[in-house]
Amino acid sequence: MKQLRNFTEEAVKVFLDRWLKEEDICQCNDCRLDVMAIMLNNLPPKYIVTDTGALYAQLSDFDPQNRIDYMTAMSQAVQIVSKGPRHEKTPEQPEQPE
């Protein structure tokens, strides 16, 4: 059965798995989801239906400009979330730099 998917959402999840741990930000699920939401609101969606569409979208994701766009969106999102995480600090969470 064919399904409609937003390839950008899937790509952002993979991108964050690789790069978010390199950032100086809380790594909890809430902060990760906030970063992801901000990124997705600032990146164009790529909706796909077929396996052929998925392959085309994956190939375009290797474009250096796409990587730059994802890195820029992540950096902006990290700054926003770091300045105002939506949870209380717990003892195991490091202080966020000002």
pLDDT tens, residue by residue, 55-88: 666 656 667 888 899 999 999 999 999 998 888 7
Cβ-contact 39, 12 below 8 angstroms:
yes
- Cα distance between residue 61 and residue 10, in whole Å: 11
- Cα distance between residue 35 and residue 48, in whole Å: 23
pTM over 0.75: yes
